[in-house]
Amino acid sequence: MEATEDLTQQALDKLAIMELPARYMRGLDRLDRDLLRAQFWDDAWMDYGIYTGGADGFADFCMEALSSHVRNHHIIGQNLVEIDGDQAYGEVYFQAYHRIVGEEGEERDVVIAGRYVDRYQKRAGIWKFAYRSEVVDWARDDPAADAFLAGSGNIWGERKPDDSLYQRDAMKRPAS
């Protein structure tokens, strides 16, 4: 029975760890600083090359860097986690889309793809990032290419609190 309990706990730990990048990405895409910051321990350390430092400074850096973008969309790919007691190591593939306004006022689509190299710690039963590094594998910068959707009626992603994600009442079927 003990082996089954160990496997169950390991599966629960992996699930908790694998939700961290999803909440991290939501924090970036919705410009939700508090959500982004909550994924890191207070003494966590980040090394992105363009930013090296602690969790509070990192959350501020991200909000400032992304606030001028028209929109952002991050996708998580392979997510490998190796648990070693109350510590774990991971590699998470990502693609990060950024709609920006270029120097001459034209909208551009920037895509950066790579991997996060992470160390997680479990404290008082909770997993959070203790270390996160971003490794860039490739990037593109192209003219915006979705003008054909203008006036289409599509619902576009927004920032917190305007995004559909936060409009919980709208998700309920109206009474007939």
pLDDT digits (tens, 9 = 90+) for 53-101: 999 999 999 999 999 999 999 999 999 999 999 999 999 999 999 999 9
pLDDT for res 68: 95
pLDDT for res 174: 74
pLDDT for res 175: 67
CATH code of domain 2-167: 3.10.450.50
pLDDT digits (tens, 9 = 90+) for 109-132: 999 999 999 999 999 999 999 999
pLDDT digits (tens, 9 = 90+) for 6-29: 889 999 999 999 999 999 999 999
Name the pTM for this structure.
0.87
pLDDT for res 169: 78
pLDDT for res 16: 96
pLDDT digits (tens, 9 = 90+) for 151-161: 787 777 777 78
Q: Rounded distance, CA 75 to CA 96, Å?
A: 6
Q: Which two tokens stand for residue 75?
A: 């996708």
Phi, psi dihedral angles at 8 (to 5 degrees): -65, -45
pLDDT for res 4: 76
Q: Which two tokens stand for residue 120?
A: 């997680």
pLDDT for res 1: 58
**Domain ranges in the chain?**
2-167
